[in-house]
Structure 1
């Protein structure tokens, strides 16, 4: 029988979302969803009140669509700086409460209270202001997940400057392209980081990138790994110099719609897109995610293994602190030195909300499905994003590891969304692998090619009304913004995902629109086939792509990674083909089943299927700057050539 989460009395009566339901006089999650989009202005005003978000100047109206839905303004005439709402408030009310903890791959742990965090932010703010950083300036952060990254983010935002967080695995060219687009005035970096026991020299990448960025006036360097004989070059400033500055107590009084951050997302073609997020809009959305979906409040610890360069990084920082919680940062690989590391971190820090990805769980799940050792009783919520789940891995995590007592809040959104489109809540039944339904305040739908609602069949994921953290555009490129999100269905946001809302009310993301295959006239998502493959005991991970076929339109190619030692690859391949044919039908049985050592992924564990497809087709794989292991693409290309 398929696993279903049923909420306990604790969640139904004492969770943050239950409090909101009581305030709005609704009794179910679906009633709350309906109320949240019936009058989006009233709902997002209620969120501000419920979460105690204080504006220095009250807003005159919640939203204004007079310039068109594409350019909606939120919290009109209001003034607020995200730093006051997420940090200053708690430094004043609960200065001795833990704001963040950090564990590095070697096991070193540090902690910082709200009072200590605010103190460091004030000093770094003073140091940056003295060096000419002010309102509207762009400052890039190229940092691993360290306390300094959090301090830097708050210091930049408190000046009214624009934060430009960059993925810590970027090479110099990717850093330069984004810093150039944002006209960054400064870059803050660490000297390096350690991942899988190997030191990575990040400062060297910045030095190369800086030579291509004339707008960058100086670079701040954090001594993170104790680089031997670190000698700063001209135009470089030691982080400790900023920490030694006199505290600056003035947080810039920013307007609600002043730019907080530029979050860059890569595409298959063209330069990276800088999604524009504002102080009030981003704050309200991420605070609602962390409060209502992940149930964080003072005294609880939030941990998501992520990177500041992905939207989950800023969401984790600002969302957790807006709710008064403690943020646990983990720097390194979550499976080092072995597959038990994630559970040890959760136990050691008494984590309340543990964020994972399906790919991570598949990679650390034992072949025999045994339960990991340790005390995980503090975990109340599991978060998930990045990839569709397969039932075997989902149910092992929910039923076997956590004994069915913890809901999996599997949510999906994006960089431009500033949070989630779809999310379940701990007060409702959650079916295995489901995303629940539309996130609160999100008028999400699944539609056909004529924008008509679909239920029970695959369609495009869209949003019919604006939301506070909807990107205000692509930085300096309004035409590209309109073309990317608004040109398919005028007046409706098209996100580029295929989704399914089934007849029982469960929602599923099936992959990017350009990943979904058309086999013999029927759309099929990679996740549907990969879910079948993952049920084989010899398969650790898999990825499926569609390749042009003169008869079928597209044929299915499957790539798989072995779980431990296996027998003859051809025997496994034949078994996998039969399994897909039996489960989904003979037309969908893979034409090719190829064993590989690794699949190309981002550090947030998203599989880069477009790059795999390009390897098969001998075409350009596009922008791989966000890939953790771009060499996997070349390895797959070589393997496919050997088959021809």
Structure 2
């Protein structure tokens, strides 16, 4: 710890013996290091030694040991890891627990209508073996793509792990997609099998997944098999197509007595193609491999959040995004229980979140800042009704925090006794760049470390490291977990991450590192607003806005301005329990705390803001609605009605202004 740090600045501090026998402490000892800070430095200088110790601690299984840690002969953009080895990540997630955790809970699946189902490690392993045999019985071979368009349920996990076990490449698809986005991704990946469900409930309504899938598959000629999970128990409007459609029970029975083995793979063989949305053009199919997906996230979370054997981790991510399949594998590798949820976590009310914590005796709770903001305005009256004493760590990822929400979460939910382990990375990383090691004090909204193995830096436009001011978040060396590129579009991958500053992975986040070594994410760099030649991040403005007692959420965007290039326009969502909030009052409060170039030229009060279902704020959509532009890909949008509500609010403000 730096001597100049002020204890008053911390929202959490560890006790004198906090490391104890934590996973981080065990890796520190394996490395012969003294502290987690020493371990980080070794992980950058000697990555092979770090990963050897980490894999030994995680008991990563190898069918054939690797002979070379990494081959960089094709350049840093295209590393090949663990050359000469053979492995399948499913062995490290399930097989290794056969003797020690067969009866322990591996997976608990809950849904919005109150159903819950628990599966033990041993039962899950048997189900995955049966699924592997069934995929083989239907002719699925290594490298073939199996798409999964289904809610977070037991069968989804079994299909995922069973497909990986036979060497297939899994294509997770967001459960909120319409038929168009599903069709696009099926065609792009050339999937031959689609696993879907009859439907699931979200915010009180049925999402008819099979009907959506039928329309999508009609335009995806490579799909020859559609496996249908009877999750919601509802009739679908489409017809069962003979020779193509098969129910889940029939599918599982087809492999009875067949080959249930787990196939050893080259560690660089693709395991997942996870699509991310863009503003325009073809979706990016991010390719991950057996020795990256699961391994990277398991290493991060065991070392940064004390995830360990017997822990219980709740997360709300959809299977279609990296946190869904990634965290499931990470928890299994760590020997922890995954508690997942199908539906909206705050429907019919915020008590859904806290009831699940109490009932599962969760140790780790994952909540994105956007969901915490919603809970902050609705949950105060119900929190005392639930026992949250099992919690050890509050985990967060997805976007930047505002100070007010962070402090509420720390105090109201954490009781000022729990660390908030902030974690930032991305789909293309299969884990994190920045995090919080629990042996060091934490400041509000901060990351107190770069993740071990990640040579992270904040750099200026020339790639020079900067301290105490905002720059681009970059990674200076290739790392285990980094994508093998975009499916069918290698040039687009190079353009996205490696072309801005030669030799550096530029992640697209605007970040800052202070003199004490604490890191802060200031928003996406493509959300940056340039006013009179000065770059302004939306995070600072939004944080100042939510400090207003009547504002629960905010979005700052840049719009064209003839004299300054761009100007800031702010959109705020009023706190449901507050008196009426006016844009003028919020703007006046901001003038007192922001420098003049950051003060919005207009503040619009809107009912809500557009988010992805994982909680990320879609500022580009807000800007497009304000300017009357094409908002781009909206396939991941939680509530399309938000767009019209923002447009109506802006129009009403314009009419009010004209009448003054």
- TM-score bracket relative to the smaller structure: over 0.9
What are the residue-to-residue correspondences of 1:161-180 with 2, within 5 Å? 161-180=168-187
Give the whole-Å Cα distance in 2 for the aligned partners of 1:456 and 1:400.
Answer: 31
Do residues 593 (structure 1) and 603 (structure 2) align?
yes
Give the whole-Å Cα distance in 2 for the aligned partners of 1:106 and 1:43.
Answer: 45
Which 4+ residue blocks in structure 1 deviate beyond 6 angstroms? none
Q: Which residue of 2 aligns with 1:37?
A: 44
Q: Which residue of 2 aligns with 1:508?
A: 520
Task: Tell whether the 8 Å contact from 2:377 to 2:576 is kept in structure 1 after alignment.
Answer: no
Identify the range of structure 1 (272-281 vs 625-634) with the bigger mean alpha-carbon deviation: 625-634
How far off its partner does 1:87 sit?
1.1
Give the whole-Å Cα distance in 1 for the aligned partners of 2:379 and 2:318.
Answer: 31
How far off its partner does 1:568 sit?
4.6
Task: Tell whether the 8 Å contact from 1:340 to 1:372 is kept in structure 2 after alignment.
Answer: no
Q: Which residue of 2 aligns with 1:53?
A: 60
Task: Tell whether the 8 Å contact from 1:11 to 1:18 is kept in structure 2 after alignment.
Answer: no
Q: Which residue of 1 aligns with 2:3?
A: none
Q: Which residue of 2 aligns with 1:134?
A: 141
Query: Which of 443, 449, 455 pairs up with 2:461?
Result: 449
Q: Which residue of 1 aligns with 2:162?
A: 155
Do residues 618 (structure 1) and 628 (structure 2) align?
yes
Q: Which residue of 2 aligns with 1:341?
A: 352
How far off its partner does 1:473 sit?
0.9
How far off its partner does 1:564 sit?
1.7
Q: Deviations over 1:140-184 (max 9, x none)?
A: 000111111110100110010000001000111101111111110
SS of residue in 2 equivalent to 1:548: strand
Q: Which residue of 1 aligns with 2:5?
A: none
SS of residue in 1 equivalent to 2:18: helix
Task: Tell whether the 8 Å contact from 2:294 to 2:430 is kept in structure 1 after alignment.
Answer: no
SS of residue in 2 equivalent to 1:434: coil
So what's the TM-score if we normalise by structure 1? Answer: 0.97
Give the whole-Å Cα distance in 1 for the aligned partners of 2:609 and 2:84.
Answer: 48
Do residues 199 (structure 1) and 206 (structure 2) align?
yes
What are the residue-to-residue correspondences of 1:197-596 with 2, within 5 Å? 197-228=204-235, 232-234=240-242, 235-244=244-253, 245-247=255-257, 248-366=259-377, 372-564=384-576, 566-569=578-581, 572-596=582-606
SS of residue in 2 equivalent to 1:379: coil
Give the whole-Å Cα distance in 2 for the aligned partners of 1:372 and 1:57.
Answer: 53
Give the whole-Å Cα distance in 1 for the aligned partners of 2:33 and 2:355.
Answer: 39
Task: Tell whether the 8 Å contact from 2:549 to 2:578 is kept in structure 1 after alignment.
Answer: no
Q: Deviations over 1:530-573 (max 9, x none)?
A: 1111112211211111111122322111111121255454xx32
Query: Which of 112, 129, 133 pairs up with 1:105?
Result: 112
Q: Deviations over 1:186-227 (max 9, x none)?
A: 100111010111111011111000011110001000000001
Task: Tell whether the 8 Å contact from 2:81 to 2:267 is kept in structure 1 after alignment.
Answer: yes
So what's the TM-score if we normalise by structure 2? Answer: 0.94
Structure 1, gaps ≥5 residues long: none
Do residues 5 (structure 1) and 12 (structure 2) align?
yes
Give the whole-Å Cα distance in 1 for the aligned partners of 2:583 and 2:630.
Answer: 28
SS of residue in 2 equivalent to 1:291: helix
Give the whole-Å Cα distance in 1 for the aligned partners of 2:571 and 2:384.
Answer: 28
How far off its partner does 1:630 sit?
2.3
Task: Tell whether the 8 Å contact from 1:273 to 1:474 is kept in structure 2 after alignment.
Answer: yes
Q: Which residue of 2 aligns with 1:80?
A: 87
How far off its partner does 1:628 sit?
1.1
How far off its partner does 1:63 sit?
1.0
Structure 2, gaps ≥5 residues long: 1-7, 655-660
Give the whole-Å Cα distance in 1 for the aligned partners of 2:174 and 2:417.
Answer: 34
Do residues 64 (structure 1) and 75 (structure 2) align?
no
Give the whole-Å Cα distance in 2 for the aligned partners of 1:63 and 1:44.
Answer: 11
How far off its partner does 1:629 sit?
1.3
SS of residue in 2 equivalent to 1:11: coil
Identify the range of structure 1 (334-343 vs 109-118) with the bigger mean alpha-carbon deviation: 334-343
SS of residue in 1 equivalent to 2:263: coil
Give the whole-Å Cα distance in 2 for the aligned partners of 1:210 and 1:80.
Answer: 33
Query: Over aligned residues, Cα RMSD in angstroms?
Result: 1.6
Q: Deviations over 1:50-95 (max 9, x none)?
A: 2111201000011111110000011111110011110111134321
Task: Tell whether the 8 Å contact from 2:147 to 2:170 is kept in structure 1 after alignment.
Answer: yes
Give the whole-Å Cα distance in 1 for the aligned partners of 2:405 and 2:495.
Answer: 37
How far off its partner does 1:24 sit?
2.0
Give the whole-Å Cα distance in 1 for the aligned partners of 2:384 and 2:543.
Answer: 23
Give the whole-Å Cα distance in 2 for the aligned partners of 1:2 and 1:584.
Answer: 21
Identify the range of structure 1 (292-301 vs 309-318) with the bigger mean alpha-carbon deviation: 292-301
Identify the range of structure 1 (146-155 vs 534-543) with the bigger mean alpha-carbon deviation: 534-543
